[in-house]
Chain A
């Protein structure tokens, strides 16, 4: 009887712990939907203070790099979507220089502070905004990847947002075309997160934390 009781308690604790772990896989604020004309504006911050202020008892990580105001994005089908990203974070060297190239946008270009570019130096990429197609969305494949050049390491903080100071951002604008309704994922391909267990394998780290949690450097794009 005692063994059965202990077993049941163990199962209950395991279930609660499992639900807790699953809930920690993502902290996506409410979806940001395209405005009229299919415009989306996002910001890439070096922290999570704006969209993920600390809460008592843990949960969202205010120190993690993050996209704002949400990583859950809705855009209209069969449209040309214009995305503006305010990049407040500094840059680093890409592990895979492939992602220094602008891909999948209208004209294969983006503008950085008004200047049209197809590629940026691979050693100064703060984040990427990369949309890709899940295996079950083959009817309207979508692959868009845009590198976000970092602001200078010594850039002064001149912008105040939600009580926090940031440097003047790089403003990146690009357009892409949507097809039929579907659900896609997007994320950053710069290892800008925290370390993983087993750091040092191949000398690579930075793919944990915000890189492995929706709501920070990963999210969903829903075409409706």
Chain B
């Protein structure tokens, strides 16, 4: 039986990797993937706790997160395509038309 703390540590590592990638990377698709990574890191701790406590609510939360993430991915990718068509770049630092 793998102890709970291992799951939690893995979850934290995944979340931190996602956060770090979000902060460091400039490619918008990578940033998008980093967000997914953070979400899934959290999902992992949800299911770990759910299994540990024998409660279903953790699983339900995970499904919600997955559904919302899927919807968000659809909208986000559409935006990315639109941005790429007009700006011809995926670098977020160059998508700065609204800045002073």
Pairing of A with B: no
* Interface residue ranges, A against B (CB under 8 Å): none
Which B residues are closer than 8 A to A by beta carbons?
A: none
